[in-house]
Structure 1
Amino acid sequence: MTSSTTLSQEQMKAHRIPLGWRDNCSALLLPLNACRRKNNFKPWECDHERHEYEKCQYDDYVRRMKELSKQKLAAAEES
């Protein structure tokens, strides 16, 4: 399940991404962290990269919640 926002396990390991951030939005984390390091972690910099990453995280959350509700509905219908 590789998409444009997901890195392979080898790429994540090579970029030393912590396990907690190895998700469907891992490819967007690389430019965000590079921008943060370049700008000394100033909170008003890198807004575009942060917005893209947070939107990906939110969309992934919504997708997982829809999947879970479908599974719960299917389990309720089986019972």
Structure 2
Amino acid sequence: MAEASNFSRAALHLGVAQPIVTRKIRKLEEDLGVNLFIRTNRGCTLTQEGELLYPTITSESGGNCGHKRSANAYSLVS
């Protein structure tokens, strides 16, 4: 998602519907108690908290954050 800068493009890249990505990100943000993205009508960017979390996610997914393998690891595709 962070690499796509857009929930729709991230969903397309992951091969899932956009509402699934939106719900999963929203749920993750609720669970963590922080916003991970700044959302605008032109897309989104990572917040400071998102920037802090991003290296952890990409290192645990082998650097392939945008691929289905890493999405499965973080329950974006289920």
> Scaled by the length of structure 2, what TM-score is found?
0.25
Structure with greater Cα Rg = 1
Q: Which has the higher strand share?
A: 2
Structure richer in helix, relative to its length? 1
